[in-house]
Structure 1
Amino acid sequence: MKSELEKLVGRYRELGIDRQLDYEKFYLYSIITHSTAIEGSTITELENQIMFDNGIALKGKSLVEQNMNLDLKAAYERVLVFAREHADITVDRLKELSALTMKNTGSEYYTALGDFSSANGDIRLVNVTAGVGGRSYMAFNKVPQKLKEFCDMLNALRRKHSSMSMQELYEMSFDAHYNLVIIHPWADGNGRMARLLMNWLQFEFGLIPSRIFSDDKEEYIKALVATRENEDFGIFRQFMTDTMITHLNRDIYSYLESIGEDTPVEQPKKKVKTRDRIIELLCDNPKHTTRTLAEEIGITPKGVERHLAILKSKGILHRIGPDKGGEWQIALDKWNCDSTTH
């Protein structure tokens, strides 16, 4: 049975959305725009089109923002070549792509162990931490070997692509994204590189490439953190699948509307956040268990447990009675069951 994502991709292609004039160019521009927006760029898709196609500097936009987008475009153009050639994913190719991505915005680092430059794609020689008070990423001295093992593992999986479903191919690309973030090979640009690698695999296997919009940034980062904390790939896979479904629905709606065809009754809404969905379900049935919540939402029980723990810590949820036979109580002064938008 096809997954919801596979059905939507089929509908997308049935409508011929991916065969419109200049579709590939403008979709690529969209990918680049949204990837840099995650990193703080304020340049729009239209502005990137003007800058990319006409070589015109953008007024009111910083040189750093413009270079960030131009550099990422060069990296994507290179990755398209690799994807067409089915080139092996190697440490040297990843370093080459990192150097293109950070060419004009990278920094020089001077350490006791030697100097290195993110603008050259050099592997970091320092340890890094994930945000304020966050856990540290892999020790720098372990990165080269781990990165090679990662490339070898990914190439072995790629060779099995013909026996994989579309959903499995997407999940391979999502896992590659997550794993590269966790290895964190560079001092700068790891997020852009992880999204670039994910898209590389999607280009190679003829998938509709994933975009992560700036509106998704908070949930995107939370999904990465939760996946790491729970050691559960299902959390990030589910986030990326849900995000793809949302964006495909919006693209299909916009296309049908633009050609004057019948569209859904209302424009697809932004996906409901997992925590909102949990509260919505508990409003309807306070006797839900972790397992039944997981089945309703489509994430793992571990993922549900993480959200329940956060809601309890905020005083929004309280457990009455034992794990079996008890029920959840929602603090109505902190949450309104009639409205799950917070």
Structure 2
Amino acid sequence: MMFTELDSLKAKLDALRPLPKHTVKSLHEQLVLDWTYNSNAIEGNTLTLKETKVVLEGITVGGKSMREHCEAINHKEAIDFVEDIVSNKAPLSESLIKSIHHLVLKQIDDENAGVYRQQNVVISGAEHRPPGCIKVPDEMQTLVECHNRLEIHPVESAARLHTDFVKIHPFVDGNGRTARLLMNFELMRNGYLPVVIKAKDRLSYYDALDTAHTKNDYSFFITMVINAEIAMLNTYLELICCD
């Protein structure tokens, strides 16, 4: 099982704690940049990795829209918020989900930031159709209640949270970014590293989600998250064990 390799790597990293502060700081800075760039790029943001870095440093990039600048800044603030709630050991809740989404969409669509959609939507290119807007509140309540009762491997739990959240598509916009933030919230609160879904893997990412939604087969997406976690653990181990 891939969980065996994953947990072996996690145990190896945990055995090295406390980790070197400067190494962890540089790894964290790179993670935030990669996570922000890739998560926004998946949704169509045209900022490059270097441009995203510049925007996060407070510099405006010529030729890019204000929305794209806000998406980068907002995402960084959402990561900060998720890290804070993890350190405070906050449980998954609807208010937490709405708070994350509000940060993702603030100054972009303030009317809908943190507010469940009140209209029906379709997901472009997907076979799955989200539930009608009237069902969203009940579906989200059920999502949180069921997820908090799950007794499965934390990485599988994180993957399922992402998948089931996107299946509901509770907001008019920003669902993908919020889903990936929620997935990493679940990973981090269980002692795992946050993962980055690469923009170059967008097609296989969407296919894996649609397979879960239409065929109830989560295996492809769970495997994708496991591989991303293994890659992140190996990155940390390679730098920390460089001797």
TM-score range, shorter chain: 0.7 to 0.9
Task: Show CA shifts across 1:7-38 (max 9, x none).
Answer: 3344556678x641513233223212211111
Structure 2: gaps (5+ residues): none
Question: Does structure 1 conserve the Cα–Cα contact (< 8 Å) formed by 2:126 and 2:210?
Answer: no
Task: Show CA shifts across 1:239-291 (max 9, x none).
Answer: 22234335555x3697499x5x6xxxxxxxxxxxxxxxxxxxxxxxxxxxxxx
Question: Does structure 2 conserve the Cα–Cα contact (< 8 Å) formed by 1:34 and 1:213?
Answer: yes
SS class of match (1:3): helix
Structure 1 Cα separation of the partners of residues 233 and 160 of structure 2: 20
Counterpart selection for 1:225 from 183, 189, 210: 210
Counterpart selection for 1:88 from 87, 91, 95: 91
Question: Does structure 1 conserve the Cα–Cα contact (< 8 Å) formed by 2:13 and 2:237?
Answer: no
How many residues align structurally?
239
Structure 2 Cα separation of the partners of residues 82 and 133 of structure 1: 32
Task: Show CA shifts across 1:170-192 (max 9, x none).
Answer: 11111100010011100101111
1:129 alignment partner in structure 2: 122
Structure 1 Cα separation of the partners of residues 227 and 100 of structure 2: 28
Confirm or deny that 1:194 pairs with 2:188. Answer: no
Superposition pairs for residues 72-111 of structure 1, below 5 Å? 72-106=75-109
SS class of match (2:142): helix
Confirm or deny that 1:212 pairs with 2:197. Answer: yes
Normalised by the size of structure 1, how large is the TM-score? Answer: 0.62
Superposition pairs for residues 40-51 of structure 1, below 5 Å? 40-51=44-55
Counterpart selection for 2:224 from 226, 230, 239: 239
2:5 alignment partner in structure 1: 4
| Deviation at residue 235 of structure 1 after TM alignment | 2.6
Structure ranking higher in strand proportion: 1
Question: Does structure 2 conserve the Cα–Cα contact (< 8 Å) formed by 1:68 and 1:104?
Answer: no
Structure ranking higher in helix proportion: 2
Structure 1 Cα separation of the partners of residues 24 and 58 of structure 2: 21
1:24 alignment partner in structure 2: 28
Confirm or deny that 1:55 pairs with 2:58. Answer: yes
Q: What is the identity, as a one-letter code, of the residue corresponding to 2:88?
A: E
Q: What is the identity, as a one-letter code, of the residue corresponding to 1:48?
A: T
SS class of match (1:40): coil
Structure 1: gaps (5+ residues): 108-116, 262-342
Identity of aligned residues (%): 27
| Deviation at residue 39 of structure 1 after TM alignment | 0.9
| Deviation at residue 67 of structure 1 after TM alignment | 0.7
Superposition pairs for residues 92-171 of structure 1, below 5 Å? 92-106=95-109, 117-118=111-112, 120-132=113-125, 134-157=127-150, 168-171=153-156
| Deviation at residue 86 of structure 1 after TM alignment | 1.6
Tell me: CA distance 1:58–1:208, structure 2 relative to 1, closer, same or farther (3 Å). Answer: same
Structure 2 Cα separation of the partners of residues 211 and 56 of structure 1: 24
Structure 2 Cα separation of the partners of residues 247 and 202 of structure 1: 12
Structure 1 Cα separation of the partners of residues 144 and 239 of structure 2: 38
Task: Show CA shifts across 1:52-111 (max 9, x none).
Answer: 2x322123433221110111111221122211112132222211211110112227xxxx
Structure 2 Cα separation of the partners of residues 78 and 133 of structure 1: 30
Tell me: CA distance 1:135–1:150, structure 2 relative to 1, closer, same or farther (3 Å). Answer: closer
Structure 2 Cα separation of the partners of residues 217 and 12 of structure 1: 29
Tell me: CA distance 1:226–1:93, structure 2 relative to 1, closer, same or farther (3 Å). Answer: same
Question: Does structure 1 conserve the Cα–Cα contact (< 8 Å) formed by 2:193 and 2:233?
Answer: no
Q: What is the identity, as a one-letter code, of the residue corresponding to 1:42?
A: T
Q: What is the identity, as a one-letter code, of the residue corresponding to 1:47?
A: E
SS class of match (1:48): helix
SS class of match (1:229): helix
Structure 2 Cα separation of the partners of residues 206 and 70 of structure 1: 26
Q: What is the identity, as a one-letter code, of the residue corresponding to 2:53?
A: Q
Normalised by the size of structure 2, how large is the TM-score? Answer: 0.85
| Deviation at residue 50 of structure 1 after TM alignment | 3.2
Task: Show CA shifts across 1:156-214 (max 9, x none).
Answer: 34xx6xxx6xxx11111111000100111001011111101001111212211111011
Tell me: CA distance 1:44–1:224, structure 2 relative to 1, closer, same or farther (3 Å). Answer: same
Structure 1 Cα separation of the partners of residues 5 and 172 of structure 2: 37
Tell me: CA distance 1:69–1:92, structure 2 relative to 1, closer, same or farther (3 Å). Answer: same
